[in-house]
Chains A and B, each alone.
Chain A
Amino acid sequence: MTSVVLDGIVLGLAFGLLGVGMTLVYGLGGVINLAYGQIVVFGAIVTSLVMEEGTSTLLAAAVGVLAAAGVCVLLDLTLMRPVYRQHGEERILLGLLLTLGVAFVILGLLTWRYPAGALYINISGEPVSILGVPMAVGSIWASVIAIAVGAALLLFFGLTTFGRGVRSVVQDEVGARLVGINPSFVRTVVFALSGALAGIVAITYSMSGPLTVNAGFELTTFALIVAVVGGLGSVAGAFMGGVLLGIVNSMSAHYIGQYYTSIILLGAAALTILIRPRGLLGR
């Protein structure tokens, strides 16, 4: 029982980290970034290429994270500009479709150039015992990184001036402009932040197994589901939704069977959306 729940939490933290990048960009720009999973894959491929050059894993990971953030900034400065000029559902829809196009382009380019590309960061070491359950070192590292990043984000949005500025833009764009915050700059920074998160997700995912070049679509759907369940725009909600879905996933895999797991997971997500369309912590 404990081991099942712990497994679920490990998986859920990874889910949560994945959902945060999606939820941030939605909360701020009103854009559901369907290219998100592909950006994760892009970060992974860059990292693996740098690692092949023989550099240290840490440096390679940093380059991968920066590359993913760079793609996001590029996206924000070019394709997302016409999206921000729209309002309401038009904006969401245009953002959705444009990022879908971007997802195709990135997927096509990556599978074309690196058809066998994959990232696997092998962390060797004896399993560590937590609450009497032996856990692999890789998943412990992944969870620690996820928790640290989550805590850093919450502190950033809660305590720093810039973080408060971001929240003010989420609440009211016009009001934020009136008190001297530049929404366009804030959006670019948050887009870059979500790209960096995508890079970090690539690193933590590849600690427990290889992240292959065509995992992008699945990652996007998971990020979307986690973000929606947690409440679009809420960082804490994304982590909560992630952990909840992670526990549901490992519980049903253990007690009901592997095959029904994904259906139960999707059912749980659909049920949450239907019962509480704003998500767990949505406004």
Chain B
Amino acid sequence: MKAVSEQPLGESRRGARVAGYAGRTLLPILAVAAILVVLPPLWFGDSTYTTSLAVRALVFASYGVAFNLIFGCTNQLFLCMGALAGIGGYGTAISMDRTSLPIWAGIAVGTASAALVGGVLSWIAVRRSLGVIFTGIVTLVFSLAFANLLLGQRDLTGSETGLVLTDGAVRLADDRVGGYYLFVCLLVVCLLVFRVLQLSHVGWAFRALRDDETAAELAGVDVARYRIYAATVGSAMFGLTGALYAYSSGFISPATYAFDQVDVRVLVLVAFGGLGSLLGPVIGAGVFAILDERLTTSLELREILYGVFVIAIFLGFRKGVVHACVALYKRLFRSGGGEPALETSRE
């Protein structure tokens, strides 16, 4: 690559190179999409139980991509993922309950409110220059307050009993496999957005500000703007996923979006897959879905295993399992090529 790029290229070769580049960068997403599309006919058919597990895994993979965009790319520790998804879910449900909006408009309202809240939180964090830890604490406080709000606004949210979503839920809940494909589409869209952002000038800004904020600022990167940008897009992903999940399950309660149900799991699975990597969340969500399924018998044992997993990951594989595998692959086959610019690292 270095040797070739120094000599002038013919138009056709340049075109082929661009096409090849685009192909290579989109290849992982296409591969994931292909695997996910053939999974139902090959493996679990239309079993309701397995499909709902798979939908859950897809939802968490989408959450993971969104978290990766906010934390992995721009270093903002958002510990209000469940709350953002909940704003999407409850926003959609309540706006459809109170008005006669069509389902897509309701989902748009939910997604937009989540994006707005995420953007405002990020704006506050940036304006007060809170740093990683304080951003984490403020967003944690926000998500606790949101959980209390859900419990308290009984006539709007139904409190612990939750809300049953009738409109549209029938279609999605009855057609489980259709619902599954909807979430495959959602995940692919999230991955595409993430990848496109990574490849565009935004991605360069993200890498610069994550590696060294001051240096990025000095080099002319508007750190504040890109942070808010990432938080808004990521929060929109959270909101959209939360809204669609609400409609596919046909029922939401505060537990659906609780801190320990969403935030902790997403943190663990993204860390497992590798912070900032494209496919990390997908792999993490897959592994943890299988783990969950195997350990359904003992909730406490699962808790312990989760803890051991987290400790082991952060002691052993600081950059995530995906990164460790890629490193191993490179050491074994010494291909030399690859795409180092896209392999992100934490240090």
Within 8 A of A (CB), among B287-342: 298-311, 314-315
Stretch at the interface among B138-146, B162-170, B238-246: B138-146
Given contacts A89-B131, A89-B132, contact A82 B315 (CB under 8 A): yes
**Once the chains bind, are A107 and B303 in contact (CB under 8 Å)?**
yes
Instruction: Tell me the complex Cα distance, A164–B144, Å.
Output: 37
CB distance from A124 to the nearest CB of B (A): 34
In angstroms, Cα B64 to Cα A3, docked, is 48
Does the CB pair B303–A32 fall under 8 Å? no
Fill in one digit per residue for A246-283: 1 if any B CB lies within 8 Å of its CB, else 0: 00000000000001101100110110011001000000
| Smallest CB separation, A170 vs chain B (Å) | 17
> Are A105 and B144 also in contact (CB < 8 A) when A100-B264, A273-B134 are?
no
Q: Quick one: which of A104, A225, A228, A273 contacts B304, CB cutoff 8 A?
A: A104
Q: Which of B116-158 contact A (CB under 8 A)?
A: 124, 128, 130-134, 136-138, 140-142, 144-145, 148-149, 151-152
Please tell me if A63 contacts chain B, counting CB pairs below 8 Å. no
B343 CB within 8 Å of chain A = no
- B142 neighbours in A (Cβ, 8 Å): 266, 270
The answer to whether B152 touches A260 (Cβ under 8 A) is yes
What is the distance, in angstroms, from A266's C-beta to the closest C-beta of chain B? 4
CA distance A107 to B136 in the complex (A): 22
Complex Cα distance, B302 from A185, in Å, reads 35
Q: Complex Cα distance A106/B133, Å? A: 24
Does A101 sit within 8 A of B, measured CB to CB? yes
Interface of B is mostly: helix
Does B271 interact with chain A (Cβ within 8 Å)?
Answer: yes
Q: Measured between alpha carbons, how far is A259 from B132 in the docked complex, in Å?
A: 31
B141 touching A225 by the CB < 8 A rule? yes
Minimal Cβ-Cβ distance residue in A for B303 = A108
A-B contact count (CB 8 A): 112
A277 proximity list for chain B (CB < 8 A):
128, 130, 134
A162–B324 CA distance with the chains assembled, in angstroms:
44
- B260 near A: Cβ within 8 Å? yes
The answer for the CA separation of A84 and B344 in the assembled complex, in Å, is 25
- Closest chain-B Cβ to A252's Cβ sits at a distance in Å of 12
Instruction: State in angstroms the CA–CA spacing of A228 and B309 once bound together.
Output: 28
Query: Are the CB atoms of A263 and B148 closer together than 8 Å?
Result: yes
Residue of chain A at shortest CB distance from B140: A221
Binding site secondary structure of chain A: helix
Docked complex Cα distance between A75 and B141 (Å): 27
Q: Which of chain A's residues 97-128 have a Cβ closer than 8 Å to chain B?
A: 97-98, 100-109, 111-112, 115
What is the distance, in angstroms, from A60's C-beta to the closest C-beta of chain B?
A: 25
A137 at the interface (CB under 8 A from B): no
Residues of B within 8 A of A93 (CB): 77, 132-133
Selected contact of A108 from candidates B124, B145, B302, CB within 8 Å:
B302
Question: Which among B130, B131, B133 has the greatest number of chain A C-beta atoms within 10 A?
Answer: B133
> What's the nearest-Cβ distance from chain B to residue A8, in Å?
19
* Complex Cα–Cα for A109 and B347 (A): 34
Within 8 Å CB of B300, what residues of A? Answer: 108-109, 111-112, 115
Contacts of A100 in B (CB 8 A): 264, 267, 307, 310
- Contact between B132 and A273, CB atoms less than 8 A apart: no
B314–A94 contact, CB under 8 A?
A: yes
Residues 108-155 of A at the B interface (beta carbon under 8 Å): 108-109, 111-112, 115
Bound Cα distance from A79 to B310, whole angstroms: 12
Does the CB pair B144–A108 fall under 8 Å? no
Q: Does any Cβ of B come within 8 Å of A217's Cβ? A: yes
CA of A101 to CA of B307, assembled, Å: 4
Residue in B130, B304, B307 with the greatest tally of chain A CB atoms within 10 Å:
B307
Q: Which residue of B lies closest to A92 (CB)?
A: B133
A270 to B168 Cα, complex, angstroms: 38
Chain B CB within 8 A of A17 CB: no
Residue of A nearest to B127 (CB): A274
Give every chain B residue within 8 A of A90 (Cβ-Cβ): 347
In the bound complex, residues from chain B placing their C-beta under 8 Å from that of A217 are 260
> Are B145 and A267 closer than 8 Å at their CB atoms?
yes
A266–B145 contact, CB under 8 A?
A: yes
Question: Which chain A positions have C-beta within 8 A of B267?
Answer: 97, 100
Given A260-B152, A262-B144, A274-B124, do A102 and B138 touch, yes or no (CB 8 Å)? no
A267 to B141 alpha-carbon distance, docked (Å):
8
Q: Which chain B positions have C-beta within 8 A of A32?
A: 133
A-B CB contact pairs (8 Å), 23 listed: A79-B311, A79-B315, A82-B315, A92-B133, A93-B77, A93-B133, A96-B133, A96-B136, A98-B315, A100-B307, A104-B306, A104-B307, A111-B303, A112-B304, A225-B141, A228-B134, A262-B144, A262-B148, A267-B145, A269-B141, A270-B145, A277-B128, A277-B130
Q: What are the nearest 3 A-B pairs in CB distance? A: A104-B307, A108-B303, A101-B310
Chain A interface residues toward B at CB < 8 A: 32, 79, 82, 89-90, 92-94, 96-98, 100-109, 111-112, 115, 217, 221, 224-225, 228, 259-260, 262-263, 266-267, 269-270, 273-274, 277
List 7 additional A-B contacts (Cβ < 8 Å) besides A97-B314, A108-B306. A102-B307, A104-B307, A105-B307, A111-B303, A225-B141, A270-B142, A270-B145
